[in-house]
Amino acid sequence: MRVARHGRTGMIAAASGTALVLALTACSATETPTETGGVTTVTFAASTFGDPGRGPLLLELVDEFNASQDEVRVAAAAVPYPTFGQTILTQMGSGLGPDLIRFDMPEFASASEAGLIAPLDDLIDVDGYDLLEQPDQFMVHDGVRHGIIFEASNYGMFYNTDLIPEPPTTYEEFFQTAVELTGGDTYGLAFRQTEAEEAGVWQDIFNYVYGFGGAWSDGEELTINSPENLEGLEAYQELYDANVIPKGADAATFRRMFAEGKVGMELNNGGYVSATKGQGPDLNFSVAPIPFPERVQGAILAPIVINEASPAKEAAATFIEWVLEEENQVKLQEILGASSVATVTERSAESLEETPFLPVFDELTDSSLPHVVLGFESRTPDIRKVVVQNVIAALQGEQTMQEALDKAQEEAVELVG
């Protein structure tokens, strides 16, 4: 394993001390020179650099790396989440794009399948790290390591403890609680339910499908219209039809409403603990496992990868190795809040005192799955579109949920050949 060189580089971003945030169009791995004055600059693109809560802290971590190096510097590029995957994949497909990318799983799978990600086996020796086994297995594609976990964020049930002293432990209690809390400008629950938030709807319904014992595939064949999937998505529709959610509200709106005490519950991932605290500093909330029949839920797995087109792969690997150092893994986890990182870490007494429910998220790691269709990972974006379109049509009364899933099954099978 290479050892990162220490000492202050002469190319740290700006006098303000924050990492330089580039426009994406300026961060092509092949358009601009990567060496100036003996320092190799690599660009790291991530949607989370623009996160108002965690973004500034992630930029400080990049600054800390830059301050430790003589020969490598990282420049951060913030790209909005809704356009991130399509923008980056388009650039990579043209032999361009940033050197380092923080992907979500569907885009990671697509890029891996297309040969756009550099194999890491010869760049990073992972044998010396105590990697989290469950999420790490998804970093290997066809026997080749293509990614390292940057963030693993399990889904749980966020609830307002002023409105809900004891969290529901069954779906029936969950439904009844949502109904009882709804009134005036307060709603018992919130989730995404518009086609404009396709990726987010997919993340939300994932919990209903897997939480009711379903799955999108058996690993070899699609099972979109299975009885278990239907049961889970009929529960999702039952809540929609009960008018316990702010219909039409996007995620940004209903998350603000939760922070303001106007939504009682939402199913969300650990990455939003910090944002919730930031938006609602006086909000009393906690997190419990999602109270569905099966203890299986979604997880945001965000790998960090190296662009196959990058002319500075070793320099990019130096940053990943630095992040994997034990001290820096702890720092990254503290920035990410309730998320996990690539390796096994121990929560500090201070963080547990400040956020007592952190162990809830940690204990869900072994039962969490990424938002991909197993066996069809690279085709997940296509399958996702078909499923979400049909499910939303069912919500809007254009077809039954059974008809929606039957149609989605037929269309998806045709898509994947």
pTM comes to 0.86
* Local confidence band at 34 (pLDDT 50, 70, 90 cut-offs): low
215 domain residue, yes or no: yes
8 domain residue, yes or no: no
9 domain residue, yes or no: no
- Domain match, 274 and 326 both: no
| Percentage of residues in the chain having pLDDT higher than 90 | 83
d(CA 219, CA 172): 31
pLDDT one-digit tens code per residue, 211-260: 999 999 999 999 999 999 999 999 999 999 999 999 999 999 999 999 99
- Domain match, 132 and 250 both: no
pLDDT at site 79:
87
**E strand intervals along 178-313:** 187-190, 263-269, 285-288, 297-306
Mean pLDDT, rounded, for 4-32: 39
- Domain match, 184 and 309 both: no
pLDDT one-digit tens code per residue, 195-205: 999 989 999 99
pLDDT at site 209:
98
- State how beta strands 100-102 and 39-46 pair: parallel
- Domain match, 73 and 221 both: no
Quote helix, strand, coil % in the chain, to nearest 5.
45, 20, 40
Three-state DSSP class for 78? strand
d(CA 137, CA 125): 16
- Domain match, 132 and 278 both: no
- Domain match, 220 and 316 both: no
pLDDT one-digit tens code per residue, 254-308: 999 999 999 999 999 998 898 899 899 999 999 999 999 999 999 999 999 999 9
Contact present, 175 and 157 (Cβ < 8 Å): no
- Domain match, 202 and 244 both: yes
β-pair partners for 35: 40
State yes or no: pLDDT of 2 exceeds 70. no
Of 354, 380, 398, which marks where a domain is finished? 354
Could you tell me the CATH number of the domain that includes residue 277? 3.40.190.10
11 domain residue, yes or no: no
- Domain match, 320 and 383 both: no
175 domain residue, yes or no: yes
- Domain match, 389 and 254 both: yes
- Domain match, 161 and 199 both: yes
- Report the domain count for the chain: 2
Contact present, 107 and 101 (Cβ < 8 Å): no
Tell which wins on pLDDT, 378 or 149: 149
- Count of alpha carbons within 13 angstroms of residue 188, beta-carbon side: 18
DSSP 416: H
pLDDT at site 417:
86
* Local confidence band at 20 (pLDDT 50, 70, 90 cut-offs): very low
Mean pLDDT of the chain: 91
pLDDT one-digit tens code per residue, 144-191: 999 999 999 999 999 999 999 999 999 999 999 999 999 999 999 999
Mean pLDDT, rounded, for 337-365: 94
CB atoms within 10 A of CB 248: 9
pLDDT one-digit tens code per residue, 94-148: 999 999 999 999 899 999 999 999 999 999 999 999 999 999 999 998 899 999 9
pLDDT at site 54:
87
pLDDT at site 53:
79
State yes or no: pLDDT of 9 exceeds 70. no
- Domain match, 135 and 172 both: no
45 domain residue, yes or no: yes
Contacts of 103 by beta carbon, 8 Å cutoff, 6+ apart: 85, 88, 111, 147, 302, 303, 304, 305
pLDDT at site 14:
31
Q: Which domain holds residue 179?
A: 155-295+372-416
Tell which wins on pLDDT, 404 or 18: 404
Paired tokens of 344: 């096994």
13 domain residue, yes or no: no
16 domain residue, yes or no: no
- Domain match, 268 and 406 both: yes
* Local confidence band at 22 (pLDDT 50, 70, 90 cut-offs): low
Contact present, 24 and 31 (Cβ < 8 Å): no
